[in-house]
Amino acid sequence: MSNMSRLRIGELQRGVFKILLEQPEGLAAKEIIKRMEQVLPPTEFEKADYPKHPGIQRFGKIIRFATIGPVKAAWMIKEKGRWYLTEEGKKAYFRFTNPEEFARESSRLYYQWADKQPKDVTEDEEEFHEEIGTTERVADASSTLEEAEETAWSEIEEYLTSINPYDLQKLVAALLRAMGYHVAWVSPPGPDKGIDIVAHNDPLGTRTPRIKVQVKRRADKISVDGLRAFMAILGDQDVGIFVSTGGFTSDAETEARTKETRKLTLIDLEKLVDLWIEHYDKVSDSDKRLLPIRAVHYLAPTD
Domains and CATH numbers, the chain: 6-161 (no CATH), 164-288 (3.40.1350.10)
* pLDDT at res. 119: 55
Q: Looking at the whole model, is its pTM more than 0.85?
A: no
How do the pLDDT tens digits run along the chain, 303 residues long?
455 789 999 999 999 999 999 999 899 999 999 999 999 999 999 998 877 777 778 899 899 989 999 999 999 999 888 999 999 999 999 999 999 999 999 999 988 887 777 655 444 334 334 444 444 555 565 677 788 888 899 999 999 999 999 999 999 999 999 999 999 999 988 776 789 999 999 999 989 899 999 999 998 999 999 999 999 999 888 999 999 999 999 999 999 988 877 789 999 999 999 999 999 999 999 999 999 999 887 776 655
- Residue pair 218/163 in contact (Cβ under 8 Å)? The answer is no
CB 226 within 8 A of CB 252: yes
Q: Is 157 exposed, middle or buried (0-12, 13-18, 19+ CB in 10 A)?
A: middle
**Looking at the chain, which runs of residues are DSSP E strands?**
27-28, 49-50, 53-57, 76-79, 82-85, 182-186, 197-200, 210-216, 238-244, 263-267
Partner residues linked to 182 by β-bridges: 200
- Could you give the 3-state DSSP secondary structure of residue 180? coil
Task: Compute the distance between CA of residue 134 and CA of residue 132 in angstroms, rounded to an integer.
Answer: 6
Q: What are phi and psi of 179, to 5 degrees?
A: -85, 0
State how far the Cα of 230 lies from the Cα of 89, in Å rounded to an integer.
Answer: 37
Q: What is the pLDDT of residue 112?
A: 87
pLDDT of residue 93: 97
